[in-house]
Amino acid sequence: MIVVEDLHRHFGGFRAVDGASLTIKTGSITGLIGPNGAGKTTLFNVIAGRLPPTSGRVLMDGEDISGLPPHVLFHKGLLRTFQIAHEFGSMTVRENLMMVPPDQAGERIWNSWFARSRVAAEEKRIRQKADEVLDFLTISHLADQKASMISGGQKKLLELGRTMMVDAKIVFLDEVGAGVNRTLLNTIGDAIIRLNKERGYTFCVIEHDMDFIARLCDPVIVMAEGRVLAEGTADEVKNNERVIEAYLGTGLKNKVKEAASHG
Amino acid sequence: MDVLNALVAFLNFVFIPGLAYGAQLALGALGVTLVYSILRFSNFAHGDTMAFGAMCTILMTWWFQSIGISFGPLPTALLALPFGIAATAAFVLATDRVVYRFYRRQKASPTIVVIVSLGVMFVMNGVIRFIIGVDEQNFSDGARFVLNPQDFKVMTGLAEPLAIKTTQAVTVVTAVIVVAFLFWFLQKTRTGKSMRAFSDNEDLALLSGINPDRVVAVTWIIAAGIATIAGVLYGLDKSFKPFTYFQLLLPIFAAAIVGGLGSPIGAIAGGFVIAFSEVMVTNAWKKIVNYLVPEHMATDSLLQLLSTDYKFAVSFTILIIVLLFMPTGLFKGKSL
Amino acid sequence: MNQRSLILFALVACLYLGTGFLQSWNLSLSILNAALLATIAALGVNMQWGYAGLFSVGTMGFTALGGLAVVLVSAKPNVENWQAGGWGIVLALVLGALSVMAAIFAWRKLPKGRTRALVVAAIMVGGFFLFRAVFDPNVMAAEAINPQFAGNLGGLGLPSLVAWPVGGLLAAAVAWGVGKTALGLRSDYLAIATLGIAEITVSVIKNEDWLARGVKNIIDLPRPWPVPYEVELQQVPAFLDLVGRWGLDPVTTSTIGVKLLYAGMFGLVLAAIIWAFERALHSPWGRMMRAIRDNEVSAAAMGKDVTGRHLQVFVLGSAVIGFAGAMMTSMDGQLTPGTYNPLRFTFLVWVMVIVGGSGNNWGTVLGGLLIGWLWLVVENVGPNIMGLLTAPLPDSWLKAHLLGSAEHMRLLTMGVILLLVMRFSPRGLIPEK
């Protein structure tokens, strides 16, 4: 369970996250939506350790994890994907997956000189696991392609696949659907549901596609102007007046009001 | 106890040399910071640009001296300075055209451009050695002192002399003029404003119709100008030796980073911080302390924290302290 | 290795063979040995830059540290100097180290705030004065004894070969300190920090006479096993017999023999380093390093400790450079701090890496041998070319100046080569796959 308490992240005078508080329950697929500039990605970046918070706390199963670097959070089972795919371009798709498992014996340089057989055995295991993941994601045919050469949607799948190389507790998915075609998006959605059911992954998903959110997520949290605006099922938030207002733009609404009072 | 003599000794051995050296470093650091904030890379060739500018000025000075032109009590080099600046600006613009422009258009990573600037450094260093050699050159002329130590003693009756060398006075005055001009230029003129906009946000500046080639060219010209002035002032005050200019890279970069890379005010502050620390740490305090303490407590030791051979260690230490505790520098850097 | 690389290597081999046939084998082998040493240093730089994208320009400092290790390990101990001040100096260094540790300890343990800053500053300042109070008199005492021929504490008198790994360790230790502070910040900060530490290292070696006689130089360092002295070799009957049978000149043959022996040793070290690096690159370790270089943000999100790995590569690369520096001083038989010059010992090595192909060990070897040859040949040939060019000129000030400055041509040449490669073949002669 992730608890975010009164989190702030400011850039100079700009308050990207401005007192957000929310809870992501273990075992849920929580949706995070909101208009552009609502602070969703910044919130992800703070939770996942990319940016330190200006103030406030992030708790993971009761432990304060605010400000820990990403690689430490990874070891605690907190993983993320990126809005713009961050693949390792010079490596093959399979290598992209094989680099993920933590504390590989082969990652110690002296083992590459003095413990070759142990490393080879471990590599075999990891390779097998990578192939299983590729199979699960239905992209086995891409295994030996350079990761920079595959399509944007396939890169998103690859990023999801990387989280499957370990036993993650919670995975933050930043706009998995951006630039992905409908068929591939369904594949991604199926994979998320299966991972949630079969392996007990908790997900937090940022997505603009409301159909996708409605199909996967419960609850859905709505952010606007750096804060949490509403929380509920997809249907509830869709009909929430404040949410509609936020999407329409508060500025516009205010102008309408002003015009009315002056008139 | 002799507070007055101690004060004079302090001024003579610490304050005035530190002020002049600080002004030279500040000018050097300004050039580095300017290139960094507009062209977005750390220019390792800057030390050699200073040497190149100084060399051009020296050649011109020698010619003036040979045909009997002088600047009265002031160094003839000041007359030659505009020619030095022009030659250096031309050289630097040519370098930009032949070398840097390609990487700018390619949007190459800053580290690549830094390595390219190493290549430029090699070439400039080679050209300088080829033309003027590696030896020390002296080109200072005119009156030696603004304030002659003997006159000062007679005037005040103090035991301790105070000397202000012409080169020191010229250094400080020139630096003040250059800095004032630069700030006026950046704040008030159209080109200066567009440079600041460019440094803040390149894409936005381009959208608002700023001509990037012009901004880049003006930046190089100013950088070459300040570098030449800094190089000449340093050469007048100490002496001209090509290799020392390469070694100046460290204190200059330290000054720019300590002040906050990309911040002109920071560069000036950083220059003085580095210079005064260097002078104070490597100064032998024996004389000053002995004036201040009662006679029976007078010391024989030099009271020198570090020998002058280690002056680079001072700028290095300050640099490390700043990197550890405030990586963005005294004045938060990044933009003009 | 493909056909193209083989052809390139063959061409470089021709350069050395040509020098041997046309000029002299002694010269060719001297160039080869210098180039092999620079190549090993270049492999260290390639590890830092090519594998991890770290921009370090402190090669000269790490080379000099390797040289210092040779003095400390293999020079004869100067017992009298030790007795005069050696232990005091050691004590002072220990005190200095302790006060640094105390400061770090205080910084970690005390709560944040003004008190902490003051306490840490007080410990540092107090420690510095304590250090100087013990250090200065002992240095004076140690340096006062037999200053004309010694004046330094000397070394441990161990075999020169032992000094090579020690040189690597010394460089690694300093690199660890630098990396710990400057890594994880903006990339050019590492460049400035390494530039600084290199200058400081060399000025320490120049000025601390008790350490290695400073600019008075140490000139009688022993040769590494199994290299004999030429003069001794010329006395060995078996050698004279062999030379006589082939009808060779004993003096030339002995000098060439010694150089060949060095070349063999350096070649072995080079081969071992390449083997180790290639193994590492093609292991999960190498995969992780490539991932970090491809995308640091993503690698960190996938649990890799980017700063820690950068530190590891930086230390390893520096150790290799220190090793090469120790081998150089060992071969020269002398430590002359005045000759450490950043253009030759830092930037030339960078030119080798970039010309050869950063990220590729074989490319670096090719670049090292090619640029190493060019650097020393331009020094010799440059004046000749200039002589030809200026031959039609009448004898004048200009001609003399041009002839005199021809030796500086090589800086210009290196700069132009670097710029041309960066522009037209940025991945080098043998690019990374």
C4-25 confidence digits (pLDDT tens): 999 999 999 999 999 999 888 9
pLDDT in tens, C158-169: 999 999 999 999
User: Are C353 and C386 in the same domain?
Assistant: yes
Residue C429 placed within a domain: no
Give the residue from C119, C98, C93 showing the smallest Cα distance to C107. C119
> How close C311 gets to chain A, by Cα (Å)?
13
Q: Read off the pLDDT of each residue in B51-59 and give the average, rounded to a whole number.
A: 96
Nearest to A86 among C276, C286, C297 (CB): C297
CA distance linking residue A94 with residue A158, whole number of Å = 9
- Residues A158 and A96 sit within 8 Å (Cβ to Cβ): yes
- CB neighbours (10 Å) of residue C246? 7
Contact C316/A at CB under 8 A: yes
Under 8 Å CB-to-CB from C235, ≥6 apart: which residues? none
pLDDT of residue C46: 95
Q: Is residue C433 part of a domain?
A: no
At residue B335, the pLDDT reads: 41
Range C50-55 average pLDDT: 90
Cβ–Cβ under 8 Å, residues C91 and C85: no
Specify the range with the lowest mean pLDDT, choosing from A43-47, A251-255, B92-96, B116-120: A251-255
| Same-domain check for residues A99 and A229 | no
B267-306 residue pLDDT tens: 999 999 999 999 999 988 888 888 888 888 888 778 888 8
Interface predicted TM-score (ipTM) over 0.95? no
Q: What is the pLDDT of residue C61?
A: 96
CB–CB contact B126 C347 (8 Å) = no
Distance from CA of C389 to the nearest CA of B (A): 15
Interchain proximity A99–C287, CB inside 8 Å: yes
The answer, yes or no, to whether residue B50 has pLDDT greater than 60, is: yes
CB contact C419 to B (< 8 Å): yes
Last residue in a domain, options C124, C152, C180: C152
Q: Out of B115, B130, B134, name the one closest to residue C422 (CB).
A: B115
Supply the pLDDT for residue C302: 94
- Alpha helices per DSSP H over chain B: 3-10, 16-39, 46-66, 77-95, 101-106, 110-132, 149-156, 166-188, 190-200, 202-207, 212-237, 242-259, 264-282, 286-292, 311-325
**What CATH topology corresponds to B3-325?**
ABC transporter involved in vitamin B12 uptake, BtuC (1.10.3470)
Chains that touch A (3 or more CB pairs under 8 A): C
Which range marks the domain in which residue C108 is found? Answer: 78-152
CA dist B164 and B16 (Å) reads: 7
- Please check whether residue A7 is in contact with residue A58, taking contact to mean a CB–CB distance below 8 angstroms: yes
- Band (pLDDT 50/70/90 cuts) for residue C113 is confident
Closest approach of C302 to chain B, Cα-based (Å): 24
Residues C326-354 have a mean pLDDT of 93
- What pLDDT is attached to residue C172? 97
pLDDT mean over B166-170: 92
How many domains, chain C? 2
> Best interface-test mutation with B: which of C419, C421, C425 has the largest number of B CBs within 10 A?
C419
Tens-digit pLDDT profile for residues B61-105: 999 999 988 888 889 999 999 999 999 999 999 999 999 999 999
**Residue A202 in tokens:** 């908790």
Cα-based angle C236, C259, C257 (whole degrees, multiple of 5): 35
**Among B323, B48, B243, B134, residue whose Cα is nearest residue C194:** B323
Cβ–Cβ below 8 Å for B115 and C55: yes
Q: Is residue C430 part of a domain?
A: no
Instruction: Say if residue A55 is in the same domain as residue A11.
Output: yes
Burial class of residue B176 (count of CB atoms within 10 Å of its CB; 0-12, 13-18, 19+)? exposed
pLDDT beyond 80 at A18: yes
User: Do C36 and C184 sit in the same domain of this protein?
Assistant: yes
Give the distance from CA B70 to its chain's centroid: 25
Q: How confident is the model at residue A253 (pLDDT cuts 50, 70, 90)?
A: low
A169 in the same domain as A72: yes
Residues C102 and C145 in one domain: yes
Q: Mind listing the pLDDT tens digit for each residue in B218-253?
A: 999 999 999 999 999 999 998 899 889 988 999 999
Total count of domains within chain A: 2
The strands making up A2-11's β-sheet, listed across from edge to edge, are: A14-24, A2-11, A55-60, A63-64
First to last CA, chain B: 48
Q: Are residues C41 and C162 in the same domain?
A: yes
For range B180-189, the mean pLDDT: 93
Considering the domain architecture, whether residues A173 and A64 belong to the same structural domain is answered as yes
Q: Which of B42, B21, B17 is CA-nearest to residue B31?
A: B42
Per-residue confidence (pLDDT) for residue A251, from 0 to 100: 55
Q: Say yes or no: C358 and C313 in one domain.
A: yes
- Under an 8 A CB cutoff, do C290 and A74 touch? no
Rounded to an integer, the average pLDDT of C360-386 is 88
- CB-CB under 8 Å, C343 with B114: no
Residues C116 and C228 in one domain: no
How far is it, in rounded angstroms, from Cα C411 to Cα C405?
11
Give residue A131's domain range. 92-149
pLDDT at B62: 93
Is A228 found in the same domain as A210? yes
Question: In the prediction, which pLDDT does B334 show?
Answer: 53
pLDDT (0 to 100) of residue B150? 87
Mean local confidence (pLDDT), B18-23: 95
Using the beta-carbon criterion (under 8 Å), do C188 and B114 form an inter-chain contact? yes
What is the least distance, in Å, from the CA of B312 to any CA of chain C? 7
Instruction: Verify that C188 and C46 share a domain, yes or no.
Output: yes
Q: Which of A100-114, B188-202, C125-139, C327-341 has the lowest mean pLDDT?
A: B188-202
Helix, coil or strand: residue B45: coil
* Nearest-by-Cβ selection for C191 from B112, B114, B254: B114
Cβ within 8 Å, pair C295-A100: no
Cβ separation C408–B254 shorter than 8 A: no
C9: left (phi over 0), alpha (psi -120 to 50) or beta: alpha
In chain B, whose CA is at the least distance from the CA of C137?
B301
pLDDT of residue B21: 95
Final residue in a domain of this structure, among C109, C137, C152: C152
Both C174 and C275 in one domain: the answer is yes
pLDDT of residue A183: 87
* CA atoms in the 13 A half-sphere facing the CB of A183: 2
The pLDDT assigned to C147 comes to 85
Alpha-carbon radius of gyration of chain A: 20
Residue C212 shares a structural domain with residue C321 = yes
Does one domain contain both C142 and C159?
A: no
Q: What is the structure's pLDDT at B287?
A: 85
Dump pLDDT digits (tens) for C216-274.
888 889 999 889 998 888 888 989 898 888 888 888 899 999 999 999 999 999 999 99
B1: confidence class by pLDDT, cuts 50, 70, 90: low
Of C203, C168, C176, residue with least CA distance to C62: C168
Q: How far apart are CA B28 and CA B46, in angstroms?
A: 8
CATH number of residue A45's parent domain? 3.40.50.300
Query: Quick one: pLDDT band at residue C381, thresholds 50, 70, 90?
Result: confident
In this structure, the answer to whether residues C82 and C66 fall within a common structural domain is no
> Are the CB atoms for C76 and C306 separated by under 8 Å?
no
| C-alpha span between C338 and C218 (Å, rounded) | 12
CB distance A88–C291 less than 8 Å? yes
Select the highest-mean-pLDDT range: A201-210, B141-150, C395-404: A201-210
Residue C249 sits in the same domain as residue C393? yes
Q: Answer yes or no: do A209 and A249 share one domain.
A: yes
pLDDT band with cut points at 50, 70 and 90 for residue A263: very low
The two tokens of residue C144 are 């006062």
Inter-chain contact A48–C284, Cβ cutoff 8 Å?
A: no
Domain boundary residue, one of C118, C152, C186: C152
Contact C408, B126 (CB under 8 A): yes
Q: Predicted confidence band at A256 (pLDDT cuts at 50, 70, 90)?
A: low
Residue extents of the structural domains in chain B: 3-325
Residue B125: list chain C partners with CB under 8 A. 343, 411, 415
